[in-house]
C-alpha cells in the first residue's frame, strides 16, 4: 500500500513538472529575447520596417543619385552602377601605361597625379624588393600608418580587398571621424548586385571624385560578378550600397575582419530582410 502510494506521488510530481516546462520556457523566452541585451530589436515585429527619407541627391556623371537614410539610424544607402577603382594595387599604374588601369585615372582634371606616391615631385617607381618592380606606387585615402609612404603595402590593395570609394559630400570634410550620419574612412558597408543577387561586405578605403559615386575595387567587383577590368569593366546600373557610418577605426582591415564586422553589423541592424525593405522601390 505504501509502495503504491509512493508511486502515485512520484507520478503526480512528474505531471506537475511536465506542465510547468512550457510556462518556464515561455518566461525564459520573454526574459532573454525581449529583455536581454541586444535582443529587443531582433524579437521586434517591426524588425524589417524601414522608414526612409531622402538625405541627399548627388550627380553621378549623367544621372542623379538619391541617397536615402533610415529614420532613427545612421545608415545611408543608394542604388547606382559601379565603376572600377584600381587604386592601391601595386599593378595599377606604369610609366608606359601598361598597368591594369589607365594612367589618366590616377590624375585630376588638370592632369596632376593624385593616385600615386610622388618623391621630389616625380612619380615613385617600385624597386626590386617591392611587389611590382617598375610600376608606380598607387595610393588609397585609407592607409596603414605604421608603414613608410613609399611602401606599396601601406595602401589598400584593390585586387585583394573589397572596398568602395565615396565622394566628399557624404564624408567628413575635415577627415576626422565622428559618430554621426557622415561616413569615415574605414567604415563597413554591404554592397549587392541586383542582377544576380550576389553581395559582399566592403570597407570605405578611398575618396571618389565629386561626380563619382558608385566606385568599387577590383576585388569587390569580382565578388559581385561585375566585370572587374579597371579600364573597361563595371556596370551602369543595379548595384545597391548600404554604409554603416562610424563603424570603422580609420585603419585598414583584412578580408576576414571586414566580413566578420559586416555580418555582425547587418545582423544587429535587421538582416537581409530589412535590406530588402529599405531598397524596395528606391531609385
208-251 pLDDT tens trace: 888 889 999 999 999 999 999 999 999 999 999 999 998 998 99
Beta-bridged to residue 215, according to DSSP, are 83, 165
- Least confidently predicted of 44-53, 59-68, 127-136, 189-198: 44-53
Tell me what the mean pLDDT of segment 178-207 comes to.
92
Phi/psi at 269 (nearest 5 deg)?
-75, -35
Domain check: are 8 and 36 in the same one?
Answer: yes
84 part of a folded domain = yes
Q: Where in the sequence is the domain holding 184, given as residue range(s)?
A: 52-102+139-279
Domain check: are 154 and 34 in the same one?
Answer: no
Tell me what the mean pLDDT of segment 167-194 comes to.
83
Domain of 242, CATH number, reads 2.40.40.10
How do beta strands 215-217 and 76-85 pair? parallel
The pTM for the full model equals: 0.82
Number of domains forming the structure of the chain: 2
151 part of a folded domain = yes
Helix (H, G, I), strand (E, B) or coil at 264: helix
Beta-bridged to residue 35, according to DSSP, are none
How do residues 43-100 score in pLDDT, each as one tens digit? 344 567 899 999 999 988 778 999 999 888 889 999 999 999 999 999 999 999 999 9
Question: Band of the pLDDT at 178, cuts 50, 70, 90?
Answer: low
Is residue 53 within a helix (H) or strand (E), and if so which, with residue range? strand 52-60
Among left, alpha and beta (phi > 0; psi -120 to 50; other), residue 250 is left
Residue 65 pLDDT: 95
21 part of a folded domain = yes
Domain check: are 175 and 230 in the same one?
Answer: yes
Amino acid at each position: 500500500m505504501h509502495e503504491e502510494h509512493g508511486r502515485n506521488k512520484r507520478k503526480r510530481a512528474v505531471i506537475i513538472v511536465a506542465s510547468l516546462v512550457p510556462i518556464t520556457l515561455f518566461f525564459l523566452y520573454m526574459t532573454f529575447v525581449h529583455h536581454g541585451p541586444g535582443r529587443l530589436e531582433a524579437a521586434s515585429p517591426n524588425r524589417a520596417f524601414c522608414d526612409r527619407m531622402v538625405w541627399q541627391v548627388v550627380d553621378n556623371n549623367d544621372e542623379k543619385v538619391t541617397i536615402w537614410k533610415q529614420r532613427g539610424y545612421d545608415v545611408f544607402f543608394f542604388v547606382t552602377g559601379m565603376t572600377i577603382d584600381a587604386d592601391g594595387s601595386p599593378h595599377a599604374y606604369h610609366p608606359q601605361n601598361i598597368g591594369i588601369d589607365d594612367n589618366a585615372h590616377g590624375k585630376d582634371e588638370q592632369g596632376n597625379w593624385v593616385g600615386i606616391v610622388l618623391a621630389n615631385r616625380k612619380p615613385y617607381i617600385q624597386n626590386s624588393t617591392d611587389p611590382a618592380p617598375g610600376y608606380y606606387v598607387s595610393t588609397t585615402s585609407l592607409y596603414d600608418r605604421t608603414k613608410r609612404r613609399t611602401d606599396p603595402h601601406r595602401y589598400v590593395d584593390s585586387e585583394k580587398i573589397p572596398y568602395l570609394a565615396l565622394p566628399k559630400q557624404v564624408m567628413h570634410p575635415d577627415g576626422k571621424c565622428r559618430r554621426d550620419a557622415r561616413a569615415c574612412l574605414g567604415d563597413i558597408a554591404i554592397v549587392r548586385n541586383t542582377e544576380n543577387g550576389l553581395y559582399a561586405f566592403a570597407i570605405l578605403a578611398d575618396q571618389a571624385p565629386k561626380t563619382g559615386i558608385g566606385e568599387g575595387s577590383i576585388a569587390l567587383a569580382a565578388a559581385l560578378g561585375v566585370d572587374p577590368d579597371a579600364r573597361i569593366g563595371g556596370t551602369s546600373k543595379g548595384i545597391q550600397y548600404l554604409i554603416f557610418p562610424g563603424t570603422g577605426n580609420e585603419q585598414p582591415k583584412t578580408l576576414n575582419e571586414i566580413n566578420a564586422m559586416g555580418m555582425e553589423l547587418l545582423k544587429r541592424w535587421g538582416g537581409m530582410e530589412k535590406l530588402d525593405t529599405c531598397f524596395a522601390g528606391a531609385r
